[in-house]
Copies of this chain bind each other. A is one copy, B any other.
Amino acid sequence: MSNGITTLRWGVIATGLISSWFVDDLVLSRKDAKAYHIIQAIGSSSIEKARAFAEKHLPGQNPAIYGNYDEVYADSNVDIIYIGTPHALHKKNCLDAISADKHVLCEKAFTLNAREARVVFEAAKKRGVFIMEAMWTRFYPLTRTVISLIHEQRVIGDIQRVFCDFAMDQKIASLGPESRLKDPALGAGSLLDIGIYSLTWGLLGSDSGIGAEAQTPEIAAKQTIQDGFDVATSAILLYPNGRQAIVSSSNLVNPKSNIICTIQGSNGHIDIAGFPSAPEYFTLYLKDGSSKKYEFERPGRGFYWEADAVALDIAAGRVQNQIMPWAETVRVLELLDEIRRQGGAKFPQDEVA
């Protein structure tokens, strides 16, 4: 404990963009922090990269620097491993961290498919460690407010349709075949990289239940496959109660609008602006013609909300989080598996040995 609040000591695996965002956010000074986060160790493929990362993102701090991941797992001062590697490595990274009895926060997509996720959760269950998919967007106060408004307060009445598109020109053509954005063996494709956020909004907008409490939608999906990975995916989710979610992603083009998600109900609709991963504000439009804009303070990027939740879970002895429980991660991956089955994107890891 530090200053009377829960303290969590993180070992960060991989020093790419997402890790830098995560670390930057965790060391921000925040007035409403629910936990105190220490970046205890940095592990990269080389000690030089780890050191450069620490110097840039943790100036004046003194994390342990490792030129591999195993030493991070073995560091007895590390409570939890943050995994910021490409999707395809998550399964191994998670299993290795779990074997070392570390708690784990693993970036999305948690694994390449549902089968891999089940293996990881089984291992975590056996060891009794906390583990969660780092679906940070679900922890945004904005997201919690939208969910409360539509499902608890039912301000837009009966929900009818949800639209979410995540488009981002990732300059695919300029990348080499070894890029995580192009190599299917690294989980390449728009769906797992950004489409997972569109799907998340489709699910959260359509259904108050998650994990075991979620309804199961029918799915119709198509993917544009180039060089073995999807550059665009679109999927329609049809719920037993008739609600539809139309979710899409593209890594060839930029967003068509600042409004990235719309949730339509019988009494109005909600437009969410920003990135599907990092929404900035939303506007509620009611049928009576009134509207209200909801704005939220967000220093940095907003990774600390999930990190705080993880810290509180671990302090309370929980092994999973109620906003992103294991069953929800598996369910989302099952839906992604089905979208890929219909759409045609395959990973070599889908083949069971």
In the complex, which residues of chain B have a beta carbon less than 8 angstroms from the beta carbon of A262?
Answer: 256-257
In the complex, which residues of chain B have a beta carbon less than 8 angstroms from the beta carbon of A257?
Answer: 257, 259, 262
> Quick one: which of B246, B253, B342 contacts A234, CB cutoff 8 A?
B246
Q: Using an 8 Å CB-CB cutoff, how does the interface string of A18-53 with B read, 1 for contact, 0 for none?
A: 000000000000000000000000000000000000
Residue pair B221, A252 in contact (C-beta under 8 Å):
no
Tell whether A253 pairs with B264 under 8 Å between CB atoms, given A161-B232, A222-B238.
yes
The dominant DSSP class at the A interface is: strand
Q: Using an 8 Å CB-CB cutoff, how does the interface string of A212-247 with B read, 1 for contact, 0 for none?
A: 000000101111111000011011111000111010
Count the A residues whose beta carbon is within 8 Å of the partner chain — how many? Answer: 38
Asked whether any CB of chain B lies closer than 8 Å to the CB of A85, the reply is no
A130 to chain B, nearest CB (A): 37
Asked whether any CB of chain B lies closer than 8 Å to the CB of A99, the reply is no
Tell whether A236 pairs with B256 under 8 Å between CB atoms, given A226-B242, A250-B160.
no
Residue pair A236, B253 in contact (C-beta under 8 Å):
no
In the complex, which residues of chain B have a beta carbon less than 8 angstroms from the beta carbon of A253?
Answer: 160-161, 264-266, 269
Q: Which residue of B lies closest to A245 (CB)?
A: B234
In the complex, which residues of chain B have a beta carbon less than 8 angstroms from the beta carbon of A252?
Answer: 160, 266
A238 to chain B, nearest CB (A): 4
In the complex, which residues of chain B have a beta carbon less than 8 angstroms from the beta carbon of A256?
Answer: 163, 262, 264, 269, 271
Per the bound structure, the CA–CA distance linking A242 and B345 in Å amounts to: 13
Per the bound structure, the CA–CA distance linking A169 and B260 in Å amounts to: 22
Q: Using an 8 Å CB-CB cutoff, how does the interface string of A106-122 with B read, 1 for contact, 0 for none?
A: 00000000000000000
B-facing residues in A173-231 (Cβ within 8 Å): 218, 220-226, 231
Asked whether any CB of chain B lies closer than 8 Å to the CB of A248, the reply is yes
A–B Cβ pairs within 8 angstroms, 14 of them:
A160-B232, A160-B252, A161-B234, A167-B264, A220-B220, A220-B222, A220-B236, A222-B238, A226-B242, A234-B236, A236-B236, A253-B266, A256-B262, A257-B259
In order of increasing CB-CB distance, the 6 nearest A-B pairs are: A220-B220, A222-B238, A224-B242, A256-B262, A222-B236, A234-B236
- Supplied contacts A160-B232, A224-B238, 10 more A-B pairs, CB within 8 Å: A161-B250, A163-B256, A218-B222, A220-B234, A222-B236, A234-B246, A235-B236, A246-B246, A250-B264, A257-B259
